[in-house]
A and B are shown apart, each in its own frame.
Chain A
């Protein structure tokens, strides 16, 4: 079986939903989609079950710039300004990777 190549995976998108006018958009999770159009469609299917009157934003996870957590330690990489740790940053050795 081919090992996972991160670049061949559908990119990750963060989903923000506003359930009613007057409220804020809330982050509610993520999903994988090949492009923005499908990301939006799928976000509706998965996170709103197509409820009327909801506003949905989708943003590529890699497009988000995040602020440092308050208690960053010396091991924190300043270049690490993405929302999540990059998947290849934490490759576990086979023997302990009991996932």
Chain B
């Protein structure tokens, strides 16, 4: 049996977790976007989606590197990405949901899911980056300043697509509504306030998630209005990826993403 690389275990402090929530969300979202490579609905959009994935990978690398520095055991971005166990990934569950095709155990997903995902996430990330520019952590502030510009672009592109699909054909509107129903419950997690948020606020690291809710609702409502979309009613559903407890998709996603490093322990790439 082939030897596999051993997982690393992080000493997860609130700061580390706070930074990884952002970094892992960017990484996992980029991973989902990469699935579209060569399969987009039109060549131009294929290129745009890949650009988006590249920006997110850049952000993820900066954040993972910083998280590793805060964590202090001397790991690098790749060890964090490819040798961490699922319970130490802290992305929003929203990011790990399929958005190109359904898995064996989940209903379908299509371009409408992708467009909506891009919009909801980039709006949230944009608000995070905005607030993080004032972080007491200079490195985090710098990362946020760079990411802010990119995410404004992402958000604009995504919002345009939401409107295009919502106010396009009967079929596109139907698909967008179906995607919205699938994804909406997972947006609650964007605004949960927990001990990690408390610690971040106490240290001046960054905002608590719930403080982003009003602005996010407002921005999303404006675009939904133009797209002819109705915001679904609030639900008590609570996803928990940001606590390291993911849905069933995460295992498959990580297995695929981490397969090479696991298969070739000690490999150089």
Complex Cα spacing A83 to B156, Å: 31
Mark A25-57 against chain B: 1 for CB-CB distance below 8 A, else 0. Answer: 000000111100110011001100110000000
B42 and A38 form a contact (CB under 8 A) = no
Question: What is the number of contacts between chain A and chain B, taking CB atoms within 8 Å?
Answer: 26
Given contacts A37-B160, A38-B160, contact A46 B153 (CB under 8 A): no
A41 & B42 in contact (Cβ 8 Å cutoff): no
Interface check B263, CB cutoff 8 A: no
Q: Does B51 contact A (CB under 8 A)?
A: yes
- Chain A residues, Cβ within 8 Å of B153: 50
Closest to B160 in A: A37
Minimal beta-carbon separation of B146 from chain A (angstroms): 12
B160 cross-chain contacts in A, Cβ below 8 A: 37-38, 41
Does B47 lie at the interface of the complex (its beta carbon under 8 Å from any beta carbon of A)? yes
Interface size band for B: 10 to 19
Whether A45 and B48, one on each chain, are in contact in the complex, defined by CB atoms closer than 8 angstroms, is yes
A45 touches B42 (CB 8 A): no
* Complex contacts, A84 vs chain B, CB 8 Å: none
Chain B residues within 8 Å of A42, by CB: 44-45, 47-48
What 8 new A-B contacts, CB under 8 Å, besides A41-B157, A42-B44, A46-B47?
A31-B44, A41-B48, A41-B160, A42-B45, A45-B44, A45-B48, A46-B44, A50-B51
26 A-B residue pairs with Cβ-Cβ distance under 8 Å, sorted by A, are A10-B42, A31-B44, A32-B42, A32-B44, A33-B44, A34-B164, A37-B160, A38-B160, A38-B164, A41-B48, A41-B156, A41-B157, A41-B160, A42-B44, A42-B45, A42-B47, A42-B48, A45-B44, A45-B47, A45-B48, A45-B51, A46-B44, A46-B47, A49-B51, A50-B51, A50-B153
